[in-house]
Chain A
Amino acid sequence: MSLAPFAVRCDVPPYRLSGTVVAALLNHRDSLAALGDAVLAPPYRGAPKAVVLAIKPRHALVAAGDALLVDDAAAELAVGASLGIVIARTACAVRAANALSHVAGYLVACDATVPHASHYRPQIRAMARDASCAFAAAVVARDAVGDAGALAVRTFVDGELAVATSSAELVRGVARLVADISDFMTLAPGDVVLAGSAPDAPRVRAGTRVAVEIECVGRLETRVALADRAAA
């Protein structure tokens, strides 16, 4: 299996990340409301029933201090603040009541996607791009955070508060999310589950500074920069 391309400090078991990152989509209470009546129309024909997920490939991950990358000066990224849930021990078909015992801790993440109107297809070109998902430098132990069910989550663009939300707004909170994923996809020690972001993620271009703060978990600072266009 692939290991994470960079180290994140984690002072509790499993002490390191596995490199597997799975992001919950449409997991904020406002996500479907933002789509209005379109939720009931084709192609969707109704709200999602099961948890909606996307895998983040290894080159999407950005270490603390490094930049989110775009291809050109006109390109926009929607920067979504997300609580990252770090798995402590193997979780397969766990119940929500037991799920937290499989969680090592939390980290701050910023998942940047190319804005896209349709949620019908996997949209890998918008969501699996190189250098699009930034992690903070350290995992904060679950015991140190306490109840992760009502943490303030703030996104700053060039120093100005752009979005203020809370983990209380998640459709599936930490325990439910881990349980529902583990029903069909075993989570391994060091895997990270991104709990998902609010639908009104700010749109930014190269040169922008972005910061995400999650209460009791920490602060992540990153920036948007132009990618090197060379082939390899």
Chain B
Amino acid sequence: MRRARVAYAGALHEAMPAGDAAIRLADGRVVADDAVVWLPPFDVGTVIALGLNYADHAKELSFAKQDEPLVFLKGPSSLVGHRGETRRPTDATFMHYECELAVVIGKPARRVSRERAIEHVAGYTIANDYAVRDYLENWYRPNLRVKSRDGATALGPWLVDASDVEWPPARSLATFVNGKQTQSGHTRDLVFDVATLIEYLSAFMTLDTGDVILTGTPEGVVDVGAGDEVVCEIEGLGRLANRIVGDERFGRAQADLRGPRT
């Protein structure tokens, strides 16, 4: 089963697919899928993200393989749903998407072995974990200004039940910028697989219901600019769309002339 969370006609709803370009709300209404506002498909807890977790992408960024997972956390202001907007700052010269398999925790996990990790997975969704590389600094890198930006974690469209996905998940990933494919990969190439990540993390931090692990991205990240449509696709999970918008959309176009904002 797959579920979305959408806003429609003044309320939040759980929704399911209903044929081509339509969704069925839990209350029975069937509406066009572009007539709703798509939200992240579950109540999101801690956002845990992996860096350099595909060997090819690590090589692309000139990094040697890690001894242990490179993990960072992202704040809740970074979350945005399917068909959301993400701001590209005017001074950025390299902002890129990252298509990632997102693992959603169901049952709380504390000191869980990799053999039992599957019991703690509620399901999967697609993540687009944006980065603005201009802001990289070598202190707790990747620093939050690069990654934990407002709107820089797109999730959705669907939460797909773990029972509908093989274990370990073996799916291809792809990203399309304005319809042209720019990234492709496969979860078989994860440096640290899902079970290993749950074991590693739960050894020191309890994973709770709604926590989500963004498992990293393969090679093929390119600069995206205002106006670009970015679609991240994972085989069998769906297509997560996002639009890049400029500073002017947020009233930031002319910083020097900006009046006091409170």
Q: A-side interface residues toward B, CB under 8 Å?
A: 1-2, 20, 22, 25-26, 43-46, 48-55, 57-60, 92-95, 97-98, 101-102, 119-125, 128-130, 184-188, 229-232
Residues of B within 8 A of A125 (CB): 68, 71, 204
Complex Cα spacing A60 to B262, Å: 31
What is the distance, in angstroms, from A183's C-beta to the closest C-beta of chain B? 8
* B139 proximity list for chain A (CB < 8 A): 25-26, 44, 48, 52, 119-120
Tell yes or no: B16 within 8 A of A by CB: no
Q: Are A92 and B45 in contact (CB under 8 A)?
A: no
Given known pairs A58-B208, A128-B205, A185-B75, the reply for A93 and B252 (CB within 8 Å) is yes
Known contacts: A57-B73, A120-B139, A130-B204. The answer to whether A98 contacts B260 by CB under 8 A is yes
- Least Cβ–Cβ distance between B37 and chain A, in angstroms: 17
- B112: A residues at CB distance < 8 A: 231-232
Q: Report how far A76 CA is from B138 CA in the complex, Å.
A: 26
Q: Known contacts A55-B73, A184-B150; can you find 6 more A-B pairs with CB under 8 A?
A: A2-B45, A46-B138, A52-B137, A53-B140, A95-B260, A185-B150
Q: Is B165 an interface residue (CB 8 A)?
A: no
B77 touches A98 (CB 8 A): no
**A229 cross-chain contacts in B, Cβ below 8 A:** 111
- Are B143 and A50 neighbours in the complex by a CB distance under 8 Å? yes
Residue of B nearest to A124 (CB): B71
Q: Which of B109, B137, B145, B261 touches A93 (beta carbons < 8 Å)?
A: B261
Cα distance A25–B141 when bound, in Å? 12
A232 touches B204 (CB 8 A): no
Q: Do A186 and B111 have beta carbons less than 8 Å apart?
A: no
Interface 0/1 of B50-80, CB less than 8 Å to A? 0000000000000000001011111111100
Q: Are the C-beta atoms of A121 and B111 separated by less than 8 Å?
A: no
The answer on a CB contact under 8 Å between A186 and B150 is yes
| Docked CA distance A54–B46 (Å) | 13
Residues of chain B within 8 A of A231, CB atoms compared: 110-113
- Contact of B72 (CB < 8 Å), options: A43, A93, A122: A122
> In the docked arrangement, what's the CA distance between A130 and B20, Å?
45
Q: Which residue of B lies closest to A231 (CB)?
A: B111
Can you list 7 A-B pairs, Cβ within 8 angstroms, ordered by A?
Answer: A48-B143, A50-B145, A97-B260, A122-B72, A125-B71, A185-B78, A232-B112
B104-128 CB mask vs A (1 if < 8 Å, else 0) is 0000111111000000000000000
Q: Known: A48-B137, A122-B140. Contact between A55 and B74, CB under 8 A?
A: yes
Contact (Cβ within 8 A) A45 B135? no
Q: Evaluate whether A55 and B75 lie within 8 angstroms (CB atoms) in the complex, with A1-B44, A102-B262 already known.
A: yes
Knowing A44-B138, A45-B138, the reply to whether A59 touches B208 (Cβ < 8 A) is yes
User: Roughly how many angstroms separate A42 CA and B233 CA in the complex, as a whole number?
Assistant: 37
Q: Which residues of B contact A232 (CB under 8 A)?
A: 108-112, 206
B210 interfacial contact with A, CB 8 Å: yes
B215 at interface, CB cutoff 8 A? no
A122 near B208: Cβ-Cβ < 8 Å: no
| CB-contacts of B82-124 with A (<8 A) | 108-113
B-chain residues with CB within 8 Å of residue A2 when the two chains form the complex:
45-46, 76, 208, 210
Contacts of B46 in A (CB 8 A): 2, 55, 57-58
- Asked if B187 lies at the interface with its beta carbon under 8 angstroms from chain A, I say no
Nearest 6 Cβ contacts at the A-B interface: A55-B73, A232-B110, A59-B206, A122-B72, A231-B111, A57-B46
Contact present for A120 and B138 (CB under 8 Å): yes
Contact of B239 with A by CB under 8 A: no
Query: Is the CB–CB distance between B210 and A57 below 8 Å?
Result: no
CA distance A125 to B206 in the complex (A): 12
In the assembled complex, the CB of A48 is this many whole angstroms from the nearest CB of chain B, namely 4
Residues of A within 8 A of B260 (CB): 95, 97-98
